[in-house]
Amino acid sequence: MNDPNALGISLVTTHLVVCLLLAMYGIHRYQLVYLYYKHRRNTPTKTGRFESKPHVTIQLPMFNEQFVARRVIESACKIRYPRELLEIQVLDDSTDETVDIAREACDRMRALGHNVVFLHRTNREGYKAGALEAGLKVARGEFIVIFDADFVPPEDILEDIIDYFADPKVGMVQARWEHINRDASLLTKTQAVLLDGHFVIEHAARNRSGRFMSFNGTAGAWRKTCISDAGGWQHDTLTEDLDLSYRAQMRAGSSFSCRM
């Protein structure tokens, strides 16, 4: 027969372990809030400006994103930056009608004078990290800006962030996310609150207090040489953005910036 005392001890132990983990998580959250308020005035600043604007490559990785592929391509083409210095790579690993939609959008934007390159892979080696790596090998830009397919980059994004890289020690700039459908449902409202806390509190607290922060996989810009120096995009992880972030920051002299 099962020992009811042993079962009770197991349940109590499990309950205590869960409570302990939640308490540790809560303490960590409070620490981030404390760091945020302590360093809230230590905002990132641009130490200079580029006398001549550098070449920039925008990468748009996508996989079966037929409903948003056209929108992100068109939005990227609206970004204000000299056309001769801007390259847009559509890194499409899709296996559905997204391929035709993205190719048609690229052809149409190219006919309007935009430098849009359509790169389609069929092997999907490395998944998103592999697509970014393949695009990086042929990218013309000194700086790489990445947007996932469900993002709508603002027209002034490059005007806002590019001069942070005038400081040669800055390897990556992460922009804050905003929400198109914040008020669509209770779920989207909850997700927006959680993401706002991550960007406004956690990222700012880490960055402004000199701690490690991470690239969120989209809506950020990298110095191309920083990616290479850190070992490039790796395929052996589910969090290629976090992995690259930490490898880059472990290199001597590298630093990140958080745009708020």
The residues assigned a catalytic role are 93, 241
> At 119, is the secondary structure helix, strand, or coil?
strand
CA distance 135 to 129: 10
Residue 173 · residue 259 · CB < 8 Å: yes
Q: Which residues contact 62 (CB under 8 A, 6 or more apart)?
A: 69, 72, 90, 91, 92, 93, 94, 98, 102, 148, 149
Residue 217 · residue 189 · CB < 8 Å: no
| Residues β-bridged to residue 223 | 143
Question: Based on the number of CB atoms within 10 Å of its own CB, is 108 exposed (0-12), middle (13-18) or buried (19 or more)?
Answer: middle
Asked whether the CA dihedral 167, 173, 176, 177 is positive or negative, the reply is positive
Half-sphere exposure of 136 (CA within 13 A, CB side): 22
Question: Based on the number of CB atoms within 10 Å of its own CB, is 191 exposed (0-12), middle (13-18) or buried (19 or more)?
Answer: middle
CA distance 58 to 71: 15
